[in-house]
């Protein structure tokens, strides 16, 4: 299948810096804010965002966790294979907190819907925002949009958007397979 | 994506190592779920599960029911003592009547060995064996080993001792199958009258000296003496059994090392184990109870994921 590079490591780094500044603009000292990385693929972007905070904004203390929403997905028993769960690491409640979900690609929106249901297990947040690296616009199956995005792209339904996070950051990239 | 190699859980004997790994991994996720402020997930909201208990049960039944409710399933409970079984109805007729009410999964406890296999041949529902006579009790063995897995990381090469009524215990047989599958070394310690024949075929050696056995092991699983299954006397009296095989402070302190202590319950305090050992720091008996819910959630989740889904138009 032909591959087309959408983002290289240089562009990804620029986007990461911008996304962090946008978060700071809206959340200031992050007093009531919690960043939540979404399993499985959102964790990589989540870690990169945390790295940028640590390297360039060390005075901002970030509360964060990792959420798996497998048991809240709406396609249980509708896919051929068993849905395998991943670990969740949230050792606090989110009652009245401002949540920012972090995921790599926003596509149909169903994962985010499941994540919104799953986070309720930890309390009723004050608000939920969504940060993604790639927004596959016009492909939503439910009315969910990102508050922060790296880039928006137009794709066909059968296209596959792959985000590669390598041990060597220079090899990080996003490509599309048609 | 991984999935179970079986469509029913009749016994540990029918599981592969990959199945056990998957069950343990999934149980870890569910253990996190049941420790959340809100402990319920909606995964099995379109599944109806019948708990059919043709034998008395307290903890297994409650554990299954709690697991089902935590998964969002609809639950119906049946016990033979208050049913038409007493009017002469057969197992298969009873179950088929219940299945006509659109039940997707059955948790079966029955006094006859092999009853869950028999039932699966006559119904289309997924069957989970919650204890069939003196045969198997797979979910108990899975939660026992899961509790050890949490402490040890791996059971490979670990020395596991089973003390008690091995002959009548379905927990013992399921544990023997599972510990073999996980690569543990196994010894049993009990009166010779309670040693099943061909025990060596399950790679378990008999150590009649409890002191030696305890010194050898990393963990000991203490089983109850099942008086209700004994049709003759296998040892003189409880006092003698307790002196020779009952776990007490004297025996545990003599081995001069820390070992984990498990018991599947119900406990006969003062017979197979004393109260101070049950409540000691080395006892993981209450952790077993918590893990029981997580393991049963994992098993029902994984088996339910293999059930066909259809919406009638």
Contact with chain B for residue A74, Cβ under 8 A: no
Instruction: Give the CATH fold of the B12-136+290-304 domain.
Output: Rossmann fold (3.40.50)
Predicted ipTM of the assembly: 0.85
Q: Could you tell me if residue A3 is inside a domain?
A: no
* Domain containing residue A14: CATH number: 3.40.50.2020
Q: How confident is the model at residue B313 (pLDDT cuts 50, 70, 90)?
A: very low
Q: Could you tell me if residue A143 is inside a domain?
A: yes
Whether the per-residue pLDDT at B312 is higher than 60: the answer is no
Report, as an integer, the average pLDDT of B164-192. 92
How buried is B222 (Cβ within 10 angstroms: 0-12 exposed, 13-18 middle, 19+ buried)? buried
Distance from the A82 Cα atom to the nearest Cα atom in chain B, whole angstroms: 5
Query: Residue holding tokens 């081995």?
Result: B255
Whether the per-residue pLDDT at B98 is higher than 90: the answer is no
Contact with chain B for residue A72, Cβ under 8 A: yes
How buried is B117 (Cβ within 10 angstroms: 0-12 exposed, 13-18 middle, 19+ buried)? middle
Pinpoint the residues of chain B covered by CATH 3.40.50.1370: 12-136+290-304, 138-289
In chain A, how many domains are there? 1
Please name which of B15, B6, B3 lies closest in space to residue B180, comparing C-alpha atoms.
B15
Q: How confident is the model at residue B229 (pLDDT cuts 50, 70, 90)?
A: low
Q: Could you tell me if residue A72 is inside a domain?
A: yes
Domain region containing A52: 10-154
Whether the per-residue pLDDT at B160 is higher than 80: the answer is yes
Q: Could you tell me if residue A131 is inside a domain?
A: yes
Q: In sequence order, what are the residues at sequence separation of 6 or more whose Cβ sits closer than 8 angstroms to the Cβ of residue A75?
A: A83, A110
Whether the per-residue pLDDT at B83 is higher than 80: the answer is no
- At residue B32, the pLDDT reads 96
Whether the per-residue pLDDT at B288 is higher than 90: the answer is yes
- At residue B228, the pLDDT reads 64
Structure tokens given for A121: 């297990």
Distance from the B253 Cα atom to the nearest Cα atom in chain A, whole angstroms: 37
Contact B307/A77, CB-based, under 8 Å? yes
Which of A76, A92, A125 would best serve as a mutation to test chain B binding (most B beta carbons within 10 A)? A76
Q: Could you tell me if residue A178 is inside a domain?
A: no
Q: Which residues between 77 and 136 in chain A have a beta carbon less than 8 angstroms from any beta carbon of chain B?
A: 77-78, 81-88, 93, 117-118, 120-123
Rounded (10°) angle between helices A42-56 and A9-27: 70
**What's the CA gap between B194 and A27, in Å, rounded?**
68
pLDDT digits 0-9 by tens, A139-165: 899 999 999 999 999 998 889 999 999
Whether the per-residue pLDDT at B232 is higher than 80: the answer is no
Q: What is the pTM of this model?
A: 0.91
DSSP conformation letters of chain A: --EEEEE-HHHHHHHHHHHHHHHHHHHTT-TTEEEEEETTTHHHHHHHHHHHHHHH-TTS--EEEEE--GGG-TTTTTSSSPPPP---B--S--TT-EEEEEEEEESSSHHHHHHHHHHGGG---SEEEEEEEEEETT--SSS---SEEEEEE---TT-EEEEE--SSGGG-EEEEE-
pLDDT < 70 positions in chain A: 1
Q: Could you tell me if residue A128 is inside a domain?
A: yes
Query: Residue holding tokens 């101070």?
Result: B276
**What's the CA gap between A144 and A141, in Å, rounded?**
8
CATH tag, B138-289: 3.40.50.1370
Contact A83/B305, CB-based, under 8 Å? yes
Q: What percent of chain B clears pLDDT 70, i.e. is strictly above it?
A: 93
Whether the per-residue pLDDT at B124 is higher than 90: the answer is no
Which helix (H) or strand (E) segment is B79 a member of? strand B74-79
């Amino acid at each position: 299948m032909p591959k087309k590079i959408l983002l290289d490591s240089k562009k990804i780094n620029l986007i990461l810096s911008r996304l962090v500044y946008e978060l700071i603009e809206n959340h200031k000292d992050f007093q009531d804010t919690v960043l939540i990385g979404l399993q499985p693929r959102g964790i990589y972007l989540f870690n990169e965002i945390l790295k940028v905070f640590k390297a360039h904004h060390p005075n901002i203390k970030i509360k964060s966790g990792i959420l798996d929403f497998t048991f809240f997905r709406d396609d249980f028993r509708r896919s051929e294979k068993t849905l395998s769960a991943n670990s969740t690491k949230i050792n606090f409640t989110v009652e009245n907190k401002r949540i920012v979900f972090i995921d790599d690609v926003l596509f149909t929106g169903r994962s985010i819907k499941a994540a919104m249901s799953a986070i309720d297990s930890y309390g009723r947040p004050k608000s939920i925002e969504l940060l993604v690296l790639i927004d596959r616009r016009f492909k939503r199956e439910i009315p969910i949009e990102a508050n922060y995005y790296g880039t928006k792209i137009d794709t066909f339904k059968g296209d596959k958007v792959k985000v590669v996070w390598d041990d060597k950051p220079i090899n990080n990239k996003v490509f599309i397979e048609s | 994506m991984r999935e179970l190699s079986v469509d029913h859980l009749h016994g540990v004997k029918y599981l592969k190592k990959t199945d056990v790994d998957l069950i343990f991994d999934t149980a870890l996720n569910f253990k996190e779920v049941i420790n959340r402020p809100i402990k319920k997930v909606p995964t099995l909201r379109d599944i109806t599960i019948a708990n059919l208990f043709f034998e008395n049960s307290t903890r297994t039944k409650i554990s299954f029911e709690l697991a089902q409710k935590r998964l969002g399933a609809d639950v119906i409970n049946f016990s033979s003592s208050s049913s038409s079984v007493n009017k002469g109805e057969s197992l298969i007729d009873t179950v088929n009547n219940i299945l006509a009410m659109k039940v997707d999964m059955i948790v079966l406890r029955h006094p006859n060995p092999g009853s869950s296999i028999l039932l699966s041949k006559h119904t289309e529902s997924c069957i989970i064996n919650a204890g069939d006579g003196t045969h198997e009790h797979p979910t108990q063995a899975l939660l026992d080993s899961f509790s050890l897995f949490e402490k040890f990381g791996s059971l490979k090469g670990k020395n596991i001792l089973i003390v008690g009524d091995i002959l009548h215990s379905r927990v013992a047989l399921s544990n023997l199958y599972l510990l073999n599958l996980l690569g543990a070394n196994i010894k049993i310690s009990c009166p010779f009258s309670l040693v099943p024949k061909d025990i060596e075929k399950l790679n378990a050696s008999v150590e009649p000296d409890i002191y030696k056995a305890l010194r050898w092991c990393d963990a000991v699983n203490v089983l109850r003496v099942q008086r209700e299954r004994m049709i003759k006397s296998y040892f003189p009296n409880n006092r003698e059994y307790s002196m020779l095989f009952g776990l007490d402070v004297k025996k545990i302190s003599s081995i001069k090392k820390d070992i984990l202590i498990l018991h599947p319950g119900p406990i006969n305090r003062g017979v197979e184990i004393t109260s101070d050992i049950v409540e000691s720091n080395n006892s993981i008996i209450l952790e077993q109870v918590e893990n029981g819910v997580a393991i049963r959630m994992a098993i029902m989740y994984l088996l339910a994921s293999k059930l066909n889904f259809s919406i009638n138009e």
